[in-house]
Structure 1
Amino acid sequence: MKNYIFLAAAILCEIVGTSFLKKTEQFSRPIPTFIFFVAMATSFYLLSFALKGIPIGIAYAIWSAAGIVLISLIGYFVYEQRLDFPAVLGIAFIVIGVVIINLFSKSNVH
């Protein structure tokens, strides 16, 4: 369970970093750029702890699915970026794939 807490914290830091990436304006704004780099470094640091008990493929699948969903929501609410139906359907398939891995794969360590 501890490994999944590290993974969740890593995902949240990655979400913060990715959210600030747009605000860096190609790394020309110092404060958003600093926040981006600190959040991403912290994210990978926390991910390294999660990988002590979660296979890297499983951790990355969870990381990717959660990141895609959360960043899409931030894009919608913060940046007013709308996704069309095929994009939403594709994201749903990614999430369904991660759920299948976590429920049925013997590769996942619970």
Structure 2
Amino acid sequence: MIHGAAVAWIWLAAAILSEVAATSALKLSDGLSRPVWVLASALGYTASFGCLALAFRHVPLSIAYAIWAGAGIALVTCISFVAFGERPSAQALAGIVLIVAGILVLRLSPGA
């Protein structure tokens, strides 16, 4: 059986992935004009918040939220480059590197 804290990290990963999928669907909704993508986005955000709430059972709010937001930013940037041809500037990439570094520091900190 998996320990509750380990399951919380799985919930956090699911929250991140569903938020990234929802944000990508929101882009595909073309300003909320394509109902299927609007629905996909709404379902993805609902799933993300539900998974995030479950992660909060064992992961501190400040840690979970920072990782959720930071990882989401980094992954959405990658997806926007690959799927939508959006090229981030050098400054944006530097910022994302700092975000990822911050996530690692938070995750590896005592009490995380």
TM more than 0.5: yes
CA distance in 2, matches of 1:88, 1:36: 26
CA distance in 1, matches of 2:106, 2:39: 35
1:63 corresponds to 2:68: yes
1:11 to 9, 16, 25: 16
Task: Give the CA deviation at 1:64.
Answer: 1.5
Q: How many residues align?
A: 107
CA distance in 2, matches of 1:13, 1:101: 21
2:106 to 97, 101, 105: 101
1:38 corresponds to 2:47: no
Q: TM-score, normalised by structure 2?
A: 0.91
1:90 corresponds to 2:84: no
Amino acid at match of 2:108: L
Q: Quote the residue 1:29 is aligned against.
A: 34
Please, which runs of 5 or more residues in structure 1 have no aligned partner? none
CA distance in 2, matches of 1:103, 1:23: 35
Give the ranges of 4+ consecutive aligned residues of structure 1 lying more than 3 Å apart after TM superposition: none
CA distance in 2, matches of 1:68, 1:24: 19
SS at match of 1:57: helix
CA distance in 2, matches of 1:102, 1:42: 23
CA RMSD of superposed structures (Å): 1.0
Task: Give the CA deviation at 1:107.
Answer: 3.9
Please, which runs of 5 or more residues in structure 2 have no aligned partner? 1-5
Q: Quote the residue 1:78 is aligned against.
A: 83
Q: TM-score, normalised by structure 1?
A: 0.92
1:52 to 34, 45, 57: 57
Amino acid at match of 2:64: A
Q: Percent identity?
A: 36
